[in-house]
Amino acid sequence: MNAEMNHAETPAAGAQVLLRALKEQGVEVIFGYPGGAVLPIYDALFQQNAIRHILVRHEQAAVHAAEGYARSTGKVGCVLVTSGPGATNAVTGLVDALMDSIPLVCLTGQVPTHLIGNDAFQEADTVGITRPATKHNYLVKRSEDLARVVHEAFYVARSGRPGPVVIDLPKDILIKPAPYVEPTREPHRSYRPQTEPDAGQIDKAVALIKNARRPILYTGGGIINAGPEASALLRELVAETGIPCTNTLMGLGSLPASDPHFLGMLGMHGTYEANMAMHGCDVMINIGARFDDRVTGRLDAFSPNSKKIHADIDASNINKVVTVDVPILGDAGKILRALLERIRSLNAQPDRAAITAWWRQIDSWREKRSLAFVQPDAPGSIIKPQHAVRRLFELTRQSGRETFITTEVGQHQMWAAQHFGFERPNHWMTSGGLGTMGYGLPAAMGVQVAKPDALVIDIAGEASILMNIQEMGTLAQYRLPVKVFILNNQYMGMVRQWQELLHGSRYSESYSEALPDFVKLAESFHGVGMRATSVDDLDRVILEMIKCDRAVIADIAVDQGENVYPMIPSGAAHNEMLLGPDKNRDNAEVTNAGMVLV
C-alpha cells in the first residue's frame, strides 16, 4: 500500500487510491464478491494486508454481513461487488439497510466510462437502480473525484440518520492513475444534519413530562444508532423519573430487558401492558422511533388522549404518520442528555404519587401475562417455539458468553424479540423495516467477523434460512462458528398464521415441502448438525451447540400450529388485541379495511 505516499508523488492507480481512502476511513473488513469490472480492486487487495476481504457466496449476503458488522460495532460496513448482476443482487440488502438506518458504503463495479449506455456486458444502470435504494449514490466519472467521493460517502453514510451509500466505479477509473486527497475537515457543502436539539423544544418537552400523570417512553433504533452512551442515558432517565418504557423491535437492548421499568416490545406482537400503556398514556415520549404501522395499529385510534413528544434525527419522520405536539430534531443521545439535565435542574420529575398509581394500573395489565405459553413437560412432548427461545436465552446467559442474536423474518423473529431478554444495545440484529427473509445468517456472519470470540446465534425459521443458506460455505472458509438455531415448524409460519386468522385456514403455498435434512446439510458445508425433536432433547442440543467451536445448524422441531400472540390484527387499535387461542379476544376482530393492510 501507499499509505506513506505524499500528495505530490506520481499518482497511483485508481484501485490503489480507493483502498488508501478506505483505509483512511477506518475500513478493516470488506464483504464482497469479485467479477470483471472490479478485477483491478481485487488485484490491489491481493497486494496489501491492511484490509481483510471476506468472500461471500451471493452479493445480497455481502450487504447483510456488512449490516451485521455495522450494527454490532457502530462502524460503517463496507461492501464490494461487481457491475450488473453483482450490483442488482445487492439491492435487497441496500434497501434493508436504508429502512433500518444502517451505515454502509457499497462499492459497485461499472463498465468503463466510454461503454456506459451501450448495453455492454454486465452493464446495469446502477446509480439509477439504487437511487431510491440508498441514502445517496455516486458514479465516479473523473479520476480526480475518486478519493473525495470515497471520503464523502463515508461521511454521508454515518452522519445524521445513517444509511447505505453506493459508489459506482467504472473500470477505467480503477485502472487510470488518480490523485489522492485527504478527507477535508469542513462539513459537507450541502449535507449538514442538525444533531443539537433546540433548547426551547427541550423545555416544552420537560414541561409536559413534569405535569404528566401517565407518561410512557417509546424508544426505537435511533437510540441504538446514537451509540451505547444513549442507551446508558435512557437508563438514567428511566431511573430518574420512574417512567415506564417500551421498545420497538429496532430498539430492543436500549433498556435492559431485566429493568423493572421495561414493558417489553410494543406493536403488532408487543406485550399487552406495552400496548395498553401506549393507548392509555397522557404523555408519550418517542425517542428515535418513527410511528411505524407495525407499532401504531389503527391510526385514528392510536393513543387518543396523549400529548406526544417526538425526538428524531430525521425531520421527515416528524408529523409523517402521527401529528405530534412537541417535535425535537436532533441526535437521540444529545436529546436524552438535554432532557435529563433539564429535568434535574428544574426538579421536573413527574409527580411520584401519580406515577405510582400509573404503575398499579400497568401491573394489572401485566397480570394478563400476555407472553405466557404452556410447554407440556411429559417425556416426548413436542417443543413449543417460545420455550425453545426461552431455553436458548437462559442457557446462553448461564454460559456467561457475550451473545449476539440475529434473526430471519417471520414467527421465529417475533418469538425471539418477545422471549430473548436483551440487556445491552448492539447485540440484536433483525430486519425490521424491510422484513427480509434470508437476513439472519449473513448478518450473523458479519457479527462474527467483528466479534470473533463471541457467541453469535441466528434464530431462524426453516423457510427463511434457505434464502441465504449458501453462506454456510463462507462460515466454513473463514472458520466462523456461527450457530443457526432453526425453529422448524415446516411452514412459512407467519404466512400460515395470517392464512389461519384471515383467510379461512386455507394454507395456500405456505407449507415447506421437501425440506433438506439440515443435519446433513450442515455436515456437507463442513459444519456440525444437531437436531431436537422433543422437549427432552432441547437443553442438551442447546448446550452442545454453545460448546461447539464450529459452525452449527441446530434443527429444532417445534409445534406446527403455534401462533404468535399477543397480536393486534391489521386495522385494529392497541386496545383491541388477540391474546391467544385459549383466552378472551379483547374485542378484536379483523375488518375488511384491515384485510387490505399487510
Partner 1 sequence: MSDVTNGQRIATISVLVDNEAGVLARVIGLFSGRGYNIDSLTVAPVDADLSRSRITVVTRGTNAVIEQIKAQLGRLVPIHKVADLSADGPHVARELGLIKVIARGEQRVEALRIADAFRAKIVDTTIESFVFELTGASEKIDAFIDLMRPLGTTEISRSGVAAIARGTRTII
Q: Which of residues 148-207 bind partner 1 (CB under 8 A)?
A: 156, 160-161, 188-191
Rounded to the nearest whole angstrom, what is the least distance from the CB of residue 590 to partner 1 in the complex? 26
Q: Which of residues 415-474 bind partner 1 (CB under 8 A)?
A: none
Helix (H, G, I), strand (E, B) or coil at 346: helix
Cβ nearer to partner 1, comparing 181 with 543? 181
Binding-site member from 47, 323, 356, 534 for partner 1 (CB under 8 A)? 323
Q: Which helix or strand (DSSP H or E) is residue 167 part of?
A: strand 164-170
What's the rounded Cα separation, in Å, for the pair 158 and 264?
Answer: 29
Rounded to the nearest whole angstrom, what is the least distance from the CB of residue 429 to partner 1 in the complex? 25
Cβ atoms < 10 Å from Cβ of 152: 20
Judged by CB under 8 A, the stretch of 314-322, 356-364, 432-440, 571-579 that binds partner 1 is 314-322
Cβ nearer to partner 1, comparing 156 with 205? 156
Cβ partners under 8 Å of residue 439, min gap 6: 64, 67, 96, 406, 407, 408, 409, 430, 431, 464, 468
Rounded to the nearest whole angstrom, what is the least distance from the CB of residue 76 to partner 1 in the complex? 15
| C-alpha cell recorded at residue 488 | 422448524
Q: Residue 198 gets which letter from DSSP? A: P
Annotate each residue in 268-307 with x if it binds partner 1 (CB under 8 A) or - if it does not, as one string.
Answer: ----------------------------------------
Rounded to the nearest whole angstrom, what is the least distance from the CB of residue 129 to partner 1 in the complex? 11
The number of angstroms, rounded, from the C-alpha of 146 to the middle of its chain's C-alpha atoms is 31
Judged by CB under 8 A, the stretch of 123-131, 258-266, 333-341, 554-562 that binds partner 1 is 123-131
Rounded to the nearest whole angstrom, what is the least distance from the CB of residue 113 to partner 1 in the complex? 12
Contact 225, 293 (CB under 8 A): no
Active site annotation includes 334 = no
Cα of first residue to Cα of last residue in the chain, in angstroms, is 51
Residue 87's identity, in one-letter code, is: A
Rounded to the nearest whole angstrom, what is the least distance from the CB of residue 315 to partner 1 in the complex? 5
Binding-site member from 116, 315, 395, 543 for partner 1 (CB under 8 A)? 315
Q: Which helix or strand (DSSP H or E) is residue 215 part of?
A: strand 215-219
> Which listed residue (9, 121, 320, 398) is catalytic?
121
Cβ nearer to partner 1, comparing 155 with 393? 155
> Which listed residue (5, 28, 48, 122) is catalytic?
122
What's the rounded Cα separation, in Å, for the pair 598 and 595?
Answer: 8
Rounded to the nearest whole angstrom, what is the least distance from the CB of residue 410 to partner 1 in the complex? 27
Active site annotation includes 135 = no
Helix (H, G, I), strand (E, B) or coil at 334: helix
Rounded to the nearest whole angstrom, what is the least distance from the CB of residue 190 to partner 1 in the complex? 5
Helix (H, G, I), strand (E, B) or coil at 418: helix
Rounded to the nearest whole angstrom, what is the least distance from the CB of residue 202 to partner 1 in the complex? 21
Binding-site member from 52, 114, 142, 320 for partner 1 (CB under 8 A)? 320
> Which listed residue (75, 171, 210, 334) is catalytic?
171
Per CB under 8 A, does 314 bind partner 1?
Answer: yes
What's the rounded Cα separation, in Å, for the pair 96 and 389?
Answer: 25
What's the rounded Cα separation, in Å, for the pair 465 and 461?
Answer: 6
**Strands 177-178 and 12-13: what pairing?**
antiparallel
> Which listed residue (494, 530, 567, 577) is catalytic?
494
The sign one gets for the Cα dihedral 553, 559, 561, 563 is negative
Annotate each residue in 127-156 with x if it binds partner 1 (CB under 8 A) or - if it does not, as one string.
Answer: xx--xx--xxx-x-x--------------x
Number of H helices, E strands in the chain: 22, 20
Burial readout 399-429 (b: 16 or more C-beta within 10 A, e: otherwise) = eeeebbbbbbbbbbbbbbbbbbbbeebbbbb
Binding-site member from 205, 318, 328, 538 for partner 1 (CB under 8 A)? 318
Cβ atoms < 10 Å from Cβ of 170: 22
> Which listed residue (16, 25, 31, 59) is catalytic?
59
Task: Give the interface size with partner 1 as a residue count (CB under 8 A).
Answer: 23
Cell 459452525, located at residue: 551
Active site annotation includes 122 = yes
Contact 474, 66 (CB under 8 A): no
Active site annotation includes 171 = yes
Judged by CB under 8 A, the stretch of 292-300, 319-327, 443-451, 561-569 that binds partner 1 is 319-327
Judged by CB under 8 A, the stretch of 200-208, 310-318, 417-425, 582-590 that binds partner 1 is 310-318
Judged by CB under 8 A, the stretch of 28-36, 318-326, 492-500, 533-541 that binds partner 1 is 318-326
Cβ nearer to partner 1, comparing 130 with 575? 130
What's the rounded Cα separation, in Å, for the pair 585 and 590?
Answer: 12
Cβ nearer to partner 1, comparing 184 with 364? 184
3-state secondary structure 229-279: HHHHHHHHHHHHHCCCEEECHHHCCCCCCCCCCEEEECCCCCCHHHHHHHH
Cβ nearer to partner 1, comparing 137 with 411? 137
What residues line the site for partner 1 (CB under 8 A)?
Answer: 127-128, 131-132, 135-137, 139, 141, 156, 160-161, 188-191, 314-316, 318-320, 323
Catalytic positions:
59, 121-122, 171, 494
